[in-house]
Chains A and B, each alone.
Chain A
Amino acid sequence: MSPKSETKKYELRLYIAGKTAKSVTALTNLKKYCEEHLQGEYKIEVIDLLIQPQLAEGDQIFAIPTLVRKVPEPIRKIIGDLSNEEKVLVGLNIRPA
């Protein structure tokens, strides 16, 4: 059971650069949507590029904040503070467009 808990249906990664207003908003929004729609099926990893700048290249990050859906494939990216719930859900393929 423990490996299953590691590999969730949704693996999300949020890239931020310091605790800016946008980053905080984005994280708050993301948590809210996930709780509402993907309860128990998601994992959020927050990467602060100010601390780990070398990680930016790997996921092709250029805008902050960026949400990357690593799993399920294909990789999807949503940039911005995630204020538009509709767009985020469509973007993450949680809700069909």
Chain B
Amino acid sequence: MLIAFICFDIKNWNDNYLLDITLVIKAYYNMSKSQKKVSSQHHYPLLSKTPTGISGLDEITGGGIPLGRPTLVCGDAGCGKTLMSIEFIVRGATEYNEPGVFMAFEEKANELAMNVASLGFDLDKLQAEKKLKIDHVHIDRTEIEETGEYDLDGLFIRLNYAIDSIGAKRVVLDTLENLFSGLSNQAVLRAELRRLFHWLKEKGVTAIITGERGEGKLTRQGLEEYVSDCVILLDHRVINQISTRRLRIVKYRGSVHGTNEYPFLIDDDGISVFPVTSLKLEKPVSSERISSGIPSLDKMLDGRGFFKGSSVLVSGTAGTGKTSIAAYFANETCSQNKRCIYFAFEESPRQIIRNMHSINVDLQQYVDKGLLKFFASRPTLYGLEMHLVAMYKTIKEFKPAAVVLDPITNLITVGSVSEVKAMLIRLIDFLQEEQITVMFTALTLNTIISDQTDEGVSSLVDAWLLVRDIEYNGERNRGMYIMKSRGMKHSNQVREFVITDKGLDLVDVYLGPDGVLTGSAREAQILQEQTGEVLRDYAVTRKDREIIRKRKVLEAKISSLQTEFESVEEELNKTYQEEELIKQVSDKTRSEITQRRRGTNEVGTINIKRKKK
């Protein structure tokens, strides 16, 4: 087995025209040791990982970099390799209680300490606490002469000594490739590097090795051949004069990992990687509603406003009041004691506050209370991804209930439409995850209002308000309608959107034969209608009087006829009574006569007599 192994190695190294049997045996010894270690770990189904402590990186790697194995971080000059590796060491020492050794081939210890002091890393203090050891390996070709055979045992001894002196768990070798510029015997170097990585594995330390990117290769010296477990590629791209840092995990043996290019940011807190949030559409939803701040607009939206956690797009041509709507929304959110962030890409915060005073919105009070936060930056400050990362960070920190982006169209200056769209998808996605309501404003560049999507985000947003110019009769007015509002009944009417000293309001527009009437035409229409009403009122009262008069005439006629009727009736009654009387009298007379003829009917006589009495 041993012989076979050596043969294999000899074959491998034949290319190098150098053979050092002791090296081979050493390498074999180390290899077999590490193999034993690997085989003893076979019981563990999952690869153990070490959290780097770099925000975002642990998420996309699913927990960190491989424990006890070397990881290669490569990239061009100035892309943040050293910073990433030093943050790995510092976070390990401060957050995970894992001391680390930083072997610097490029910078001196004090230079390093100075460079990272701005990030709040106090390397001197960590060194004093024995949590960190920086060992600067100075290689200067001018003072080195090579004669005959050598190995890098000195480096091994130094590293070993450094690791053992503080009980280090983490090691960084930055940038190992400097060895190649300092030493000419490449064959020895390569053999020694191979040995070094095996030795590191055997030592059980989690290592980061940094390497400069080479042409067509990940590293100039092909270090990726030796470090095969995890390779992270950093990139610093300049597109349209704007640079964006990106990170990609090229390979991660034995683990699932994010494969995309993730933008990352270097700021006061070190590196933050921004993972694309889930694109699975499995976000929580809320049926809670929040007001837009404009009561009449809420009325158009089923009377209750937007859904919480939804995204709202306000688009329109220049000067249609998009920012005012956004400011109203921010104002409303803050007035309910909720936090709001206003990302302004066009105006400075002071400018917005001053301008909004003119429509009776006092944003300053909420800024003072700490409820409203302005985050103003020129879009060209940095790339889209950086904007996204910056927004992500700010939102994470401030935890607002609502976010305003004013306007998203300005971002187009730093990216193409599809890039802006991709960025906004991610932002919306993240905000929905956090249940944050977002309002975007978008400038429609077309003067002809088309239903074209603004930055293609209209399919992503839940509600879309369109503010448009209505030019008619020598003046320009604003009309607003709801293009869409998912999941709620909403008005289909075009309303006139008026901005006054008192604030914003929506009024019904007049739809006449000439089209939509707004502004003074609407006022004129109102006046005209009022005149018409007065005239009609007048006509009505005149008719009423006529009726009263008619009634009076008729009533008079009725009373005279009635009197006439009474007299006729009396006349008739009189005749009738006379006849009755005559009839009674004649009846009486007849009965009396009848009695008398019969002679003696006492009773009757008496009765009659009594009656008479």
Q: Which residues of A line the B interface, CB within 8 A?
A: 15, 17, 20-22, 25-26, 49-50, 53-54, 56-57, 60-66, 74-84, 87-88, 90-91
Contact = CB atoms under 8 A, between A and B. Distances in A.
B150 interface: yes
B381 interface: no
Contacts of B138: 60
Contact of B147 (A49, A60, A75, A83): A83
B553 interface: no
Chain B interface residue bracket vs A: 20 to 34
A79 B144 contact: yes
A21 B22 contact: yes
A64 B154 contact: yes
B245 to A, nearest CB: 32
Contact of B155 (A62, A65, A84): A62
B158 interface: yes
A11 B139 CA distance: 21
A91 B191 CA distance: 26
Interface string B131-158: 0000101110001111111111111011
B516 interface: no
Given A66-B150, A81-B149, A91-B147, 16 more contacts: A25-B148, A49-B154, A53-B158, A53-B161, A54-B161, A56-B158, A57-B158, A60-B137, A63-B183, A64-B157, A66-B154, A75-B143, A79-B150, A81-B147, A84-B147, A87-B147
Query: Which one of B22, B150, B152, B160 has the highest number of Cβ atoms from chain A below 10 Å of its Cβ?
Result: B150
Contacts of A49: 153-154, 157
Contacts of B161: 53-54, 56-57
B151 A62 contact: no
A81 B150 contact: yes
A76 B149 contact: no
Q: Which of A21, A62, A77 has the most CB of B within 10 A?
A: A62
Contact of B152 (A62, A76, A88): A62
A29 B17 CA distance: 24
Interface string B163-184: 0000000000000000100010
A78 B145 contact: yes
A77 B144 contact: yes
Residue from the set B145, B147, B161 with the largest chain A CB neighbour count within 10 Å: B147
5 contacts: A53-B157, A61-B154, A61-B158, A88-B147, A91-B145
Contacts of B155: 62-63
From A22, A57, A61, A74, residue with most partner B Cβ within 10 Å? A57
A85 B179 CA distance: 25
